[in-house]
Structure 1
Amino acid sequence: MNNVIRIGTRDSELALWQANHVKDLLAKNGFESVIVPVKSDGDLILDKPLHELGITGVFTKTLDVAMLNGTVDIAVHSMKDVPTKLPKNIVKAAVLPRANTFDILLHKDKPKEFAKHATIATGSLRRKAQWLNRYPKHTIVDLRGNVNTRLEKLQNNDWSGAIFAAAGLERINLKPQNHTVLDWMIPAPAQGAMLVVAMENDKSTRKAIETLNDYETDICTTIEREFLSTLEGGCTAPIGALAVIDIDYVTFIGGLFSLDGKHKVTVEKRILIENCEGLGALCAQEILKEGGEEIMIKLKKELSL
């Protein structure tokens, strides 16, 4: 490990907040670090929906390269953006305590005023599918860019509303009062969690980062990402998953949706935490048996997964 840990991050306001949060936590543990911003393809290519870019880990690829090239020592990610399979020689070093897991709708009008007809903006196929499942007559438009860019687009368009992850807006103090919590929407696997990755052979850096790991968040996100991986869905596929620990138990809910929202298969389990190993895979297999396999076959053709 270098004397100073180089923290790689995207250069958006939210990503820099997350990187600086890690920097502050490391400082409290006696480790010096510096921020190294890197612009990702996901930030640069804003005129295409995510699923059309044809890249797994569109927001992490550039940072992966920077790590492999030795430009940075660690990288900080929104964990929901990270592919379930990390690049060779890069490993999970720590999962930080989880923030708000909910999606929220930012709206200009009260929800009851556009219950029948509305235009909702989101760049997420998962959010789109679940919204159309609940509101099949609504129109969904694509919304890309970092948090600030998307907020600006919402203000400059005549959309009824736009869907955001609550955690991101809360972290940079941009969550407006005029919002609705979508507690019925299953979040993305690992939503609200931050992941720090390091080089596998950099044992001293990994030892420093391990001090930041949150046990419960690590368990829950592992279950969720195992669910995603078993379904063989990319980060952009309409798959939701959430695991929550309540004392001695883990409660899990997962869902797979067709792109148009017309078809869905969901699963819910509550088991003792001591028995949670393999829970994500078990729930995914149940989804596939209950009709999810047909949905996944169609999704792979539509998205070229």
Structure 2
Amino acid sequence: MSKVIRIGTRDSELALWQATTVQQKLDELGLNTQLVPVKSTGDLVLDKPLYELGITGIFTKTLDVALLKGDIDIAVHSMKDVPTQLPKGIVKAAVLERAATQDILVHLGTDFLKGKGTIATGSLRRKAQWLHRYPDHSVVDLRGNVNSRLLKLIENGWNGAIFAKAGLERIKLLPKDAVLLDWMTPAPAQGAMLIVGLEKEKEILAQIEPLNHHKTDICTSIEREFLRTLEGGCTAPIGALAEIKDQTVYFKGCLHSLDGQQQLETLKECTIELVKDFGKQCALEILENGGKALMESIKDELNTIH
């Protein structure tokens, strides 16, 4: 009988769906598993925007601690929530095949798109990209799990709220009339699930490795390298998407000012054999073309908020 692998997860419906999916895949490999739900700071503190909390990895920190203390063996995350620098002793075990990468608008009618309106989101990236396209709109902060955010949209009567398509699809809450925001560049690694484990637990890492999806791993690594080079963490309006078609990697990355007025964008491609440092090269191009000054102003602005 092999050792039971304890799977740490946040306790929201979406996080439990993700962890259960991993559990089923590990069960198919003949492994024994157990789910261990944990509440994160990001789930407990709902009265402040994420950037005001000033903690990198707010949704992953509690699980990191549980992992390092030996309370769980692996943790399952939405990859876009994970800081680009993992804590010492914790490593990437596998990246599952990616779902939809796009953002979507859940709305109470779309007439407002032609005039003034109020949109809800807790993401600086979504806020900045929305204001870049709709400068006359207001954006209000929206926190909580997917279910509570949908409820708040209805209760507050806002015109719409922005969600990741993958999240709503996974728990079967995607409205039929939701608008696909194909013009919006997603968060780095959006739509992907990440499993992390302890570096010293070689046997467990080897057991998890078969779940790794090679193409998703390459694309998300490029996007996260782009994010890390820009020094965005979770607190700057940074979007990135890498896609592989045949043997070519196509990349789109962007950086916005907090008010959305300024936009820096890069579109690049390379062959799959030359992906080493590709995300870094794309980020350096942005930094050299005004991105360095823009990042400094974003940090200054966020510091005054804190």
- Residue 29 of structure 2: aligned partner: 29
Contact persistence 1:105–1:180 (CA under 8 A): yes
Contact persistence 1:101–1:166 (CA under 8 A): yes
Deviations 1:148-185 (A, max 9, x none): 11011011111000000000000000101121000000
Task: Give runs of aligned pairs for residues 225-236 of structure 1, distance below 5 A.
Answer: 225-236=224-235
- Structure 1 unaligned residues grouped into runs of 5+: none
Contact persistence 1:105–1:164 (CA under 8 A): yes
User: What secondary structure, in the 3-state scheme, does the structure 1 residue paired with 2:285 have?
Assistant: helix
Task: Give runs of aligned pairs for residues 100-139 of structure 1, distance below 5 A.
Answer: 100-110=100-110, 112-139=111-138
Structure 1 residue ranges, 4+ long, deviating more than 3 angstroms after superposition: none
Contact persistence 1:249–1:270 (CA under 8 A): yes
Task: Give runs of aligned pairs for residues 20-169 of structure 1, distance below 5 A.
Answer: 20-110=20-110, 112-169=111-168
User: What secondary structure, in the 3-state scheme, does the structure 2 residue paired with 1:211 have?
Assistant: helix
Task: Give runs of aligned pairs for residues 275-290 of structure 1, distance below 5 A.
Answer: 275-290=274-289
CA distance in 2 between counterparts of 1:164 and 1:141 reads: 14
- Residue 3 of structure 1: aligned partner: 3
Task: Give runs of aligned pairs for residues 154-303 of structure 1, distance below 5 A.
Answer: 154-303=153-302
CA distance in 1 between counterparts of 2:237 and 2:2 reads: 41
Contact persistence 2:93–2:209 (CA under 8 A): yes
- Normalised to the residue count of structure 1, the TM-score between the two structures is 0.98
Deviations 1:25-80 (A, max 9, x none): 00111111000000000000000000000100000000000000000000000000
**Amino acid aligned to 1:47:** D
Q: CA RMSD in A?
A: 1.2
Matched-pair identity in %: 63
Contact persistence 2:223–2:242 (CA under 8 A): yes
CA distance in 1 between counterparts of 2:275 and 2:201 reads: 30
Contact persistence 1:114–1:160 (CA under 8 A): no
Contact persistence 1:108–1:178 (CA under 8 A): no
User: What secondary structure, in the 3-state scheme, does the structure 2 residue paired with 1:127 have?
Assistant: helix
C-alpha deviation, 1:2, in angstroms: 6.8
C-alpha deviation, 1:114, in angstroms: 3.3
- Structure 2 unaligned residues grouped into runs of 5+: none
User: What secondary structure, in the 3-state scheme, does the structure 1 residue paired with 2:67 have?
Assistant: helix
Contact persistence 1:19–1:35 (CA under 8 A): yes
**Amino acid aligned to 1:179:** A
**Amino acid aligned to 2:284:** Q
C-alpha deviation, 1:113, in angstroms: 4.0
**Amino acid aligned to 2:138:** T
Deviations 1:218-258 (A, max 9, x none): 00000000000000111131000000000100000000000
